Structure 1
């Protein structure tokens, strides 16, 4: 395996070298970098042309300029990268750092959401093939996949941004809005859960009453301006996570694992009060440390309470511990929503990755960053989740028709075990390829999305470099995206070996 990795890395280095040479030559010959100065009417035009020529090295052969860039990049081996400067004299390394952090903040969240939602929905549609739910998801998947990104982005800016900000001035629901929303959700949920007409009618009725009651209550107390999750919400969701994860991965009858996850929920509820003062105005190291501690404590609870199932108990208890930590943090963030609105009355921003000169505390600043990222994240998630849903569905359907699946069922294994342990693991192999290349591609920056929402990310860095015929920003973009593509491709191959031991040979 080590020899294989080293061989792949060596070949990847040659690919990067050849690609960088080709891109550099294409960039410097794409247009005239002095075009704006040649068209200028300034008295010192010739002096400005001479200065830029000397500064960008335009009087030197292309191979000398490329060698200078390559020499600077080679210093990355000693963690002392020199990516040069752009034509305005700004260090490209600092520009790359700001652009990469902005894009990664957007891409990671959107990719994780798309993967989780797409895979879960894809599995459900495969299990319920040719049902109303399957047809509905298939239609929506093709719809989202076909939508132009810029059109979706503009619609979200108008309705989920501007109109939502207007509504937040007086966040109440009219009776007509309550009835229509409750009916739509009732129909959707009854179609998702399926069953005979009696079960569908019962599901729709319960959903209709619950949604209408909840919307009426939220409207009456203006919950959207002064929201609160509270201890009860954290407890209910934590218990649901414990029971759901146990049922899904080891079965509800495994009491040792169930008790260990529920004990982790109890420990999380104690921590909800014990660390309340610590996280009132925390720092990122404190929050990260508490999150890691919750994982460790959950894992230890599962290990000591799991008995013969200590390994799955430790893993699931660590998951529940992390979930409880995230729920506690979400509760604290929501409790600061009112103070955030006092600082920023129109919360959803449509331009930029953060509000300039924002003066709030830790949680208010976190809410500001979240409000800035929500619209572009929705755009990228909607477009990506469609492909993940379709790939997962087709992969699951192919796997579920294999002989070993029929053998597993004939041995008397439960449908949960057949789907999760036998079907899903093998269906992940083709999905792994899509995940790797999709993530590597998105690191390059969602150019259109970033343009519409005014994000200064990798896409903007690349577009500006091309427009100004400035090779250094373009090559910095290539260095990051090319390396990401190669590494993600390598990780995908290693994931194949982990999922299917036959591939290791």
Structure 2
């Protein structure tokens, strides 16, 4: 495998070199970088032109400028990275750091959500092939995939951004609207759950009643303005236990005590840690949060190894999932507590332009909420557009795999449907999906140009576009360096993952 990886790396270096040479040539010959100054009536025009010539080294042939840029990139391997300057004399490395940070914040969460939701939807529709649910989801996924990004962004701004900000002035739900939403949710969930008529009716009615009562409680206790996990974090107790039980039922079956007990113990330790770390998390930093998150996973693994018996693998998976979700619930409690103070600083919380509020002065959680609200609309947009790809590929792969001989053999051996789907079919389904995920991550690092422009984010896409418009190859090459390296790296990761997912594949 090491020999294969080195061989691929060498080939990738050659491809990157040739592609960078071609790109540099095309950008430098795409126009005149001095055209705006040649048409200027500024009395200092000659001085401005000479300064730009000096910044861009326009007195040298294009290939010497390329070699100079390539030498600066090579210096990155010895800690002396120099990616050059823009035509205005600004260091590209500084611009790149800000652009990459902005883009990663924008696309990573959307991509992860799209992968999780898309794969889950694909599995469900494959299991319920040609049902009403399958047809409905197929229609919606293709509808979302076909949406023009700029048009969908305007709708999100109008109906989620502006309308929600207006609603917060008097955050009460219209009961007719609540009833309609409850009915839609009940119909959707009963269609997803399936079963006989009695089960579907109970599911639909129960969901509608639960939603209606939940909104009633939120209205009476003003939880839209002051959200809470309940007194003494009781909501965390319930949710952590629900995740432990649900994950156990999904992975190993609810009667498997060797998996259920470690999961519940992990949830209990998480609830205890909520009180133990409460003061620390009132004004934390990212190092503390990441450290506690890693510690929670380590504790979950230890608990599963000690209590999992012969079923340690499944116990570890379920306990880790329980620890992750319990940690998220604990953080959510602190975010809810900061919401009221955040609204005092920013009465209209959802912004439609920019990646953060200028001169925003709040504590850690209020600043987190500010950046989160800025990400909300573009994240929703990128997620709903990307879900279609993952759901359709997952559905097609699941349907293909379900016809294989080993799936029929697994069923004939008496394995329950959960084990057949998750342990046999789904793992083989991941092979084509791995390729899509790898290239999607690599592509999104390049930025979502239209989304960035509509929502006013200064990300990688904006850096690339500005470089092209100004006939300035240095920002374009910085963009290429990051996105090209990401494409090569994730492509290699995808190839290596094939051998992990399917032992029959050898590199």
TM-score range, shorter chain: over 0.9
1:146 aligns to 2:146 (yes or no): yes
Contact 2:16–2:484 (CA under 8 A) maintained in structure 1? yes
User: In terms of mean alpha carbon deviation, does 210-219 or 397-406 score higher?
Assistant: 210-219
CA contact (8 A) 2:442 2:487 kept: yes
User: Contact between 2:55 and 2:88, CA under 8 Å: does it hold in 1?
Assistant: no
Does the CA-based 8 Å contact 1:165-1:346 persist in structure 2? Answer: yes
Cα-to-partner distance string for 1:177-209 (whole Å, 9 max, x where unaligned): 122212221221222222333333322222222
Where structure 1 has 5 or more consecutive residues not aligned to the other structure, the ranges are: none
Q: Which residue of 2 aligns with 1:344?
A: 346
1:455-492 per-position Cα deviation (integer Å, ceiling 9, x unaligned): 11100110111111111100000000000000000000
| 1:353 aligned residue | 355
Aligned to 2:77: 77
Mapping 1:36-435, distance limit 5 Å: 36-230=36-230, 231-435=233-437
CA contact (8 A) 1:83 1:476 kept: yes
Q: CA deviation at 1:501?
A: 1.1
With the length of structure 2 as denominator, give the TM-score of the two structures: 0.98
The question of 1:452 aligning with 2:457 is answered: no
| Paired residue secondary structure (1:336) | helix
Alignment-derived partner of residue 479 in structure 1: 481
Q: CA deviation at 1:239?
A: 1.2
Cα separation, 1, equivalents of 2:71 and 2:166:
54
**Mapping of residues 23-42 of structure 1, within 5 Å:** 23-42=23-42
Tell me the distance in 2 between the aligned counterparts of 1:315 and 1:376. 32
Deviations 1:320-368 (A, max 9, x none): 1222112101111111100000010000011111111111101111111
- How far apart are the structure 2 equivalents of 1:306 and 1:202? 35
Post-superposition CA distance 1:293-339 (Å, at most 9, x none): 11111111111111112233233222212221121011111111000
Deviations 1:255-278 (A, max 9, x none): 111101101111111111111111
| 1:437 and 1:489 in contact (8 A); partners too | yes
Deviating more after overlay: 338-347 vs 211-220? 211-220
* d(CA) in 1 for partners of 2:319, 2:260: 9
> 1:80 Cα shift?
2.2
2:506 counterpart residue number: 504
Give the Cα–Cα distance (whole angstroms) in 2 for the partners of residues 164 and 36 of structure 1: 43
Greater shift in the superposed pair: 311-320 or 256-265:
311-320
How much has 1:129 moved relative to structure 2? 0.6
- The secondary structure found in structure 1 opposite 2:505 is helix
**1:127-151 alpha-carbon deviations (Å, 9 max, x no partner):** 1111111111100111011111111
Give the RMSD, CA atoms, in angstroms. Answer: 1.2
Q: Any unmatched runs of 5+ in structure 2?
A: none
- Structure 1, residues 41-78: CA drift from partner, whole Å, max 9, x if none? 11222232222122211121110111111010111111
Q: Work out the CA distance in 2 between the residues paired with 1:212 and 1:392.
A: 34
The answer to whether the Cα contact below 8 Å between 1:118 and 1:389 also exists between their aligned partners in 2 is yes
